[in-house]
Structure 1
Amino acid sequence: MSEAGPEWRLVVVNGEEGAGKSTVVRALLPHTPRGARIDAEDIGQTNPCLMDDEFFALLRRNVALLVDSFWRAGYTNVVAGSFLRDHADYLDFRRLLPQPSAVFLVDLLVDKDVRDHRRETRAKRTTQEWRDMVDQIPEDRTIREATGADYRYLGIDTSRLDVAGTVRRITEEIPEVYGRVSAGA
């Protein structure tokens, strides 16, 4: 990959299934100056969808290549989501990115009952069998509890926020990307 530019920034949107990662990634792009977005759910569609370690390694490599390609093309701010399971995944992904680059990790936190309602009513339908399988995966806390992380962590409880409120919180908390004016202004 290429040498890093002085202002390259990456906003990673993370969270459990149904937390709103894809929605927030899409909603952030119009507020992201010189920005590009990557939703790994879009680029990671496979048949069969194995969702094993090899699949996630491939997904991380693909996202890292796209991030670097956008940066080299002049899109200095990239918003990406739906590709990290835990801190170990982040470390593997980070090694694929050019240095130095600023990373902001936004963790969408949501109460289970709200998350379940979102998963049942959203346009991207899933089966009850899929939701039950995903719910067996323990919630990861390694990203938010990592010591010495090279990213700025931002945990946002979206249980009582709509998309606009979530975007406003993110843009206010990351002035390096979004300036001092909130998304609602």
Structure 2
Amino acid sequence: MTPPPTDANQAGTGTTESGGRLVLVTGQEGAGKSTILRALLPRTPEGARIDAEDIGQTNPCPMDDRFFDLLRRNVAGLVERFWAAGYVNVVAGSFLRHHSDYLAFRRLLPRPAAVFMVELLVDKHVRDRRRVTRAKRTTQRWRDMVDLIPEDRTIREATDADYRYVGVDTTGLDVAATVQQIMDAVPEIYRR
């Protein structure tokens, strides 16, 4: 693996005045956000990965609006620092619940060159199986609480969005096939 550039001028394409590119991975708990973020990074040229589930661990974990505001600010700060260091393509996820979260997040960043919103969709029976077999263990109580949150469609249905929406149904896909679908949908970053 090539060492990262030490500043934006040394990067192959560098960040532009309009900012870098951003791939945001969203989906319900158990959709595979963290798995896909990890799998995308080695395929992302001049890339950096931010998984808010890793940087946003707290005890207690309130999962309320105040907590998500803190998470958005932390992710936005990291995105800016990665861009400034020459990592043109940032993949991030696990911090957007709905379109209004995205709008609040965008106000924290300079205008990126491009934003790609990847929503991982999965049938409930597959999602439930993933939730109990994955490395990030959760309790039944936690899963029951999360299941009370209705599925949000505002990210995919936003009419004035400044991002390209990419919906990927992962129900019958393995990780490699999911990553390939994302790469095919975002040739600006993953051109062969």
Instruction: Give the TM-score taking structure 1 as reference length.
Output: 0.94
**Paired residues, number:** 178
Which of the residues 29, 49, 52 maps onto 2:41? 29
**Aligned-residue RMSD, C-alpha:** 1.2
Unaligned runs of 5+ in 1: none
1:74 aligns to what SS in structure 2? coil
Instruction: Give the TM-score taking structure 2 as reference length.
Output: 0.90
Corresponding residue for residue 84 of structure 1:
96
Closer, same or farther in 2 for the Cα pair 1:9/1:100, shift >3 Å?
closer
Closer, same or farther in 2 for the Cα pair 1:4/1:91, shift >3 Å?
farther
CA distance in 1, matches of 2:62, 2:100: 19
Q: Letter of the 2:45 partner, please give it.
A: P
Deviations 1:6-42 (A, max 9, x none): 5610000000000000000000000000000000001
Q: Letter of the 2:56 partner, please give it.
A: G
By how many angstroms is 1:4 displaced? Answer: 5.4
Deviations 1:71-116 (A, max 9, x none): 0000000000000000000000011111243100000000000000
**1:53 corresponds to 2:35:** no
Identity across the alignment (%): 73
CA distance in 2, matches of 1:160, 1:124: 21
Which of the residues 155, 174, 184 maps onto 1:143? 155
CA distance in 2, matches of 1:23, 1:103: 20
Q: Is the 8 A contact 2:21 2:112 kept in 1?
A: no
For 1:100-111, what aligned pairs fall within 5 Å after superposition? 100-111=112-123
Closer, same or farther in 2 for the Cα pair 1:31/1:41, shift >3 Å?
same
1:63 aligns to what SS in structure 2? helix
Unaligned runs of 5+ in 2: 1-14
